[in-house]
Amino acid sequence: MLCSWEIFPIRKQMLHTHQNPGCANRRGRFVDTWRYHPRSFAITLNSKVRRFCSLGVVMTALALVPGACTLRAQQAAAIPRLSFTKLLKGSTPEYVSLSIDANGKGIYDSWNPGGSPSPGPIQISSGTTTQIFSLAESLNCFRSLNLESRHKVANMGLKTLTYEAGKEINKVEYNYTENRTAQELTATLEKIADVEERIAQLQFAVKYDHLGLPQILREIQEGMDGHAFVETTLMIPVLEKIASDPRLMHLAQARARDIMQRIQENK
């Protein structure tokens, strides 16, 4: 950065009249002239120049901030993301939405008619994340893909799979598919959604329905028997709360502990 400089002499010594009679009227008073020493110069920044240079430094730093933010946004956008939605009128919930990126960071949401979206973050294990994206790659990341069965089947809900990676966005919709890879991918995503729904039911029962809590836990035990869930570790925080809450029924606490033990054994 180029800055101008201001050079001024330093006042070294005022002369007495007896040393320079032609420069004063009375003995003992300082004269108005300056004596310069050849090396008696100080170099400093002019105050206006200092402000200009400081402003330049600040503006340069601020100019770098948008670039850094843009870089981070580009990096985040470059991480592949897979989304799954399902709409089935009359079901509970009627609409589910699950989005997972290649790092396992996800967002889940569901609602019924008259409800409002309330998305929440989830973290999927590396094993399940790898499985999901491997299946998507086997389906060519949904590029020009048709999954809808040619046979007439009942309404099983409109499903949408979306793959995003940078500027690439591929989407496929179907009610029912005979593609085995797509069936496996759909089942995995639906089983994750089922876990999130069970978590919501448990949280509600802990607050408002202590008597109904043992039945929900029993249904979870039966679901685990039938391999109906994926990522059951997501339930552990609420199960721990149930198992340690003395206000809840002993049966509910025992079932919560049993489910946690089974989850740990299946890891």
* pLDDT tens track for 238-256: 999 999 999 999 999 999 9
Q: What is the pLDDT at residue 245?
A: 97
Q: With 80 as the cut, is the pLDDT of residue 91 above it?
A: yes
Q: 126-158: per-residue pLDDT in tens?
A: 999 999 999 999 999 999 999 999 999 999 999
How confident is residue 179, by pLDDT bands cut at 50, 70 and 90?
A: very high
- Orientation angle between helical segments 213-225 and 180-208, nearest 10 degrees: 160
Q: With 80 as the cut, is the pLDDT of residue 161 above it?
A: yes
Q: What is the pLDDT at residue 87?
A: 97
Between residues 30 and 226, the one the model is more confident about: 226
Residue 159's nearest CA partner among 144, 148, 145, 170 is 148
Q: Report the sign of the C-alpha dihedral through residues 122, 126, 131, 135, in that order.
A: positive
Q: 18-58: per-residue pLDDT in tens?
A: 444 444 443 343 334 444 344 444 444 454 445 444 545 44
Q: Structure tokens of 151? A: 């046979």
Indicate the pTM of the whole model: 0.72
Between residues 4 and 201, the one the model is more confident about: 201
**Average pLDDT of the chain?**
82
What are the residues whose beta carbons fall under 8 Å from the beta carbon of 131, sequence distance 6 or more? 188
Q: Structure tokens of 169? A: 């966005």
How confident is residue 113, by pLDDT bands cut at 50, 70 and 90?
A: confident
Q: With 70 as the cut, is the pLDDT of residue 185 above it?
A: yes
Q: What is the pLDDT at residue 64?
A: 52
Long-range contacts, 72-77 (Cβ 8 Å, 24+)? 77/166
Q: Structure tokens of 29? A: 């008073």
Q: With 90 as the cut, is the pLDDT of residue 259 above it?
A: yes
| Span 209-230, average pLDDT | 97
Q: What is the pLDDT at residue 117?
A: 83
5/47 Cα distance (integer angstroms): 10
